[in-house]
Chain A
Amino acid sequence: MIRKEAKLIGRLDDPKIPRKPTRDGYGQGVVEAARKDQNVVVVCADLTDSTRNADFKKTFPERFVQVGVHEQFLAAGGAGLALAGKIPFITSYAMFCPGRAWEMVRTNICLNDANVKIVGSHAGVSVGPDGATHQAIEDIAILRPIPNIVIVSPCDAIEAEKATLAIAAWKGPCYLRLAREKTPVFTTEESPFEIGKAAMLRTGKDVAIVACGPLVHDALLAAEELAEEGLDAMVINSHTIKPLDEKAILHAAETCEAIVTVEEHQITGGLGGAVAEYLSKVRPTIQEFIGVPNVFGESGEPAELLRHFGMDVPAIKRAAKKAHKRKTHR
């Protein structure tokens, strides 16, 4: 059942549930972070409005830096700002930073352990009609092998705001993965958030669904429907992909002995991979992977695309049943 301590909203399947993009939560959070610390600066690459930095620009014009369509410079210049004491939030679409700027992220930011906050918006296939060129579904995979970096994929706008404040206070490189589309706001101001500490949202014993990003809501909906069908699913919001909350993952494996990972990202190299790499060392566990199956995205409406690539509620339910069946037939 849904844990009270998770402090979620009352009715998760309310059709009138408020919807807001996670990037909006960042936009509010970064203004707040700047009020708390005068070293916070925002660097934009010609995408000020769509990365939700317009409020920051208006509130702190002297701390707003426009670099134009220069994503490599965004990352390398950001490293320079950090090495001189600033806390730069370098912002673009995830496809371009970290995407285009990967080597600068790796060498200039992470190898330097520079205190840069990389904000990648428009991650996932939910960018929708823009198509494959703009759908970043490899960003987690390209960052996970890099030492020093923290990777956070918040589940809704409220969590994104908390995550923004948390990474501003964190010493070292961080990546904040954001989405363009409006998605349900189902956590509350009271919901706990801590970098590196996964949130147990629903207890269960038959199968554990470990999810990140806005699909956490879909995972919860799937779990509630599965309960009606007699399958008791645990749901974990693994918002921090690196460092992975190994304690929470091990607990899920020990309790349920079957795992489904859920992410709007390539199956290769993402949250699912991180969970599998860890569990294979300490407690090999049956696992099903929800994510993009080694194909590029394409144009379409976000909901259509999630269905098309097998990342919607029915797909999560199917995966949960399959994992459970594999466990019982072992």
Chain B
Amino acid sequence: MRTLFSALVATTILAGAAQAAEIYPLDRATILTGSPFDFKAEFSAVVKPEDVKITVNGQDYKAALGKEVEFVAEEKNKDKVLGSAVILRGVTLAKAGDYKVEVSAGSETKNVTWNVYGTPEQAKAKNVIFLIADGLSVAHRTAARIMSKGMTEGKANGRLNMDDVPPVAFVGTSATDAVATDSANTMSAYMTGHKTAVNAIGVYADRTPASLDDPKVETLAEALRRQTKKSIGIISTAELQDATPAAVVAHTRKRGDKAEINGMLFDVKPDVLLGGGSAYFLPQATAGSKRKDDKDYIALFKEAGYTLATSKSELATAAGTNTGKILGLFHTGNMDTTLDREFLKKGTVSKFPEQPGLVEMTKVALDNLSKNPEGFFLMVEAANVDKMSHPLDWDRAVVDTIEFDKAIGAAREFAAKNPGTLIVVTGDHTHGVSIIGTVDDDKPGTEMREKVGTYAEAGFPNYEDKDGDGYPDKVDVSRRLFLNANNGPDHYETFRPKLDGPFAPSIQNEKKEYVANEQYKDVPGAVLVTGIIPKSADSGVHAVDDIVLQAEGPGAEGFRGYMEQSDVYKGLAEAFALGAKQTN
């Protein structure tokens, strides 16, 4: 045992000292047969092209990879020379099995093993509806159930739609460069089958600073276009260029490349595209544009046969058209939360009063996509669950979880009538949020902290849903759920829903540090909560905890037990038989 241990230590030290080469795809990558990807090897030294040796399963690489690599003598970060590299774009491996790839040059060597997998010839599912609530944690689900349905003597008074979709897997969400994670690399893993680095989408993160040259992997949308004639739909309450919707189609090291991502959406042309982010469709001369060129993507999509909808009513009209292609843009930025849109009329609702909700968008998309006899893939994202969990605005996050659940209801209704439909329900990562009890305004005193009920003192919240719409009639009831994050910036805890607009817990000072937003200081009973993460952080952060994945319908058996996020792609690829050409 001791010998083994010291041997391990020695290997680790050697690896560190030699600054070995790096290979993309990384070791233990899982790759769909026939799915194009870019191969890259980076050396830490400048080497001669004739010294570079690459083998695949012991043979010269050209037989397996099909073509010759391009040699880059010096990769640079500004003036700093990073070393030489070889790159080969658009490689495909047709045969399933393990591929041991060995690269050497001078004193540097590196080997990785890729697992290439095939799929059955026959698809199990005609349609897949992939419903994702960004940041969906267990607390969001529990709170949504209690707020929507109520609870008596410890038993829920009703069930959410998601409560009847079997939980089948725990998903690990860590990135290739960190145990922690973000929505770019997480959704990218779902949509490509490759894990990648924080902020990256559809690529492995190489060392060069350019964000659009990193080694690409195929996205699900691209695989569907390559192998099938299925329709593709993308719905999000965020900007359509935001990480989650982007990952269905895009390739960039930096999720912030939103103007470029918009172009990638156009390249793939999903048949139904509904959400926010019109700012990236507008040419720079138009006020409100966030582009830095003159491209008018509104015009380009229209020329490509899309019916444009910019409001709830236009969406209803577009749903009746027969073009088969709908572009729905309902906000220049992220769409408002359900709580603001439907109830409080805060946020930006006065500027964009005609935004549809996630359920309407889902129904229109399902109606439209299901006209294709070949079937479809639809991604539905409830973005505000995450966007409101960051600023610790739990009421908005939970009400959007209820809306997400209603979208699941619409999907299940569709699946009941269309039995070839696989439904997957999950989040992309979690937040450090939990419910610890209630806040009861009627407890004695003025100190809000003393009105927090835990254990038996919590009692039950008194939300009501008299109109039966599934949403609590109001969130500011006298005894309400108390949700809390295990991290955050300095902020004032007010113990109350933020009825005047989304919570802004912290603001930046002249030292670029985030400090508690004084605006909430004078809310009666507010308590200063000192942050426990760096002062550069403006909001609560993602958690590293596993997320729950639920699935039902044909192909649901592809998701079981603990899965890496990248394994989820394999489940989707098998359900759709993406290893087999279906376009004859």
- Do A and B pair up? The answer is no
B binding-site residues for A, Cβ under 8 Å:
none
